[in-house]
Amino acid sequence: GVFAHLELLEARAYEAAVKQEEMEQQEEKLARLKARVQELRLQRDKLRAKVDLQQKEQLGKEGAVSNAAQPSARAVLEWKIKTLKAMLQIFYLTGISGKLSKRGVCFCISTAYEGTYLDSYHLDLLTKPEVQIYRHSVPIFIPLQQIAKKYLQTDIRRFLSVLSDHLNAYVGRRYQADQLQEHFSGQIKGTLQRNSLCNLLVFNYNVSSESKTFPFNVRLLYGDPCCSLPTEVVISCT
């Protein structure tokens, strides 16, 4: 009996050590990923500043040639293509990749949450005669048209950045809800309720104390569509 108990304790200690080692490895991996993200963001900012400077210099040169002369349609198109190529390089460092097509440019927005890569969404843009959305795989509940109306014609980089923020926040909320349902199904009473955008989560759970059980209701509200953390938490005892 004593030896069996010692073996059991040894097995538990080994399991605890393995779990501790796995947690430390995950923390190290997460730290490396966060450092890499920060590095890529710095590179993005430098490239963005460089592109802005090149655009200003190009506009200055065109203005110096002739203030009265208007650039030709071909010159405008070449300038757009050059700008798009520069933007593709910038966005590649921030989870947004793309390639030029015969009719415009195709973007792929990759999403992640705390180092876990999740879904990718595609967006095809036409560049002639003006920039417009040709087709996409963005969920219907993401306000794509409102974002496009505000930024697409005036600042395409801002358009992609805001759209990426919305998508990353959405998949982050959805991922957290999935993890909550998966890892705490034993504590959650019934099914976790959520809407399509996952900006409202409602679930029930019980807390037992001696001979009594107290049922609680939790309501998580995400007021910021570009945030993956709740802005309001309501817990009530039912």
Could you give the CA distance from residue 25 to residue 228 in angstroms, rounded to a whole number? 25
Q: Which domain holds residue 43?
A: 1-70
- Residue 77 in any domain: the answer is no
- Residue 65 in any domain: the answer is yes
Say what the alpha-carbon torsion angle 114, 177, 143, 168 is, to the nearest 10 degrees. 10
Distance, CA of 90 to chain centre: 16
**pLDDT tens digit at each of 238 positions of the chain:** 445 555 666 677 677 777 777 777 777 777 777 777 777 777 777 777 777 777 677 666 655 544 445 566 677 666 666 666 665 555 544 678 878 888 888 999 989 888 788 899 999 999 888 889 999 999 999 999 999 999 998 888 889 989 999 999 999 999 999 998 888 888 888 888 999 999 999 988 887 777 788 788 899 999 999 999 899 989 888 7
- Residue 51 in any domain: the answer is yes
- Residue 215 in any domain: the answer is yes
- Residue 121 in any domain: the answer is no
**Omega of the bond leading into 71 within 30 degrees of 0 (cis):** no
- Residue 10 in any domain: the answer is yes
Query: Which helix (H) or strand (E) covers residue 235, if one does?
Result: strand 232-237
185: left (phi over 0), alpha (psi -120 to 50) or beta: alpha
Mark which of 30, 53, 70 sits at the end of a domain: 70
- Residue 94 in any domain: the answer is no
pTM of the model: 0.61
- Residue 116 in any domain: the answer is no
Could you give the CA distance from residue 82 to residue 79 in angstroms, rounded to a whole number? 5
Mark which of 12, 43, 70 sits at the end of a domain: 70
Mark which of 52, 70, 88 sits at the end of a domain: 70
Tokens for 45, please give them: 């900012």
Are 188 and 180 a contacting pair, CB within 8 Å?
Answer: yes
The total of structural domains in the chain comes to: 2
Residue in 224, 116, 223, 218 with CA at minimum distance from that of residue 172: 116
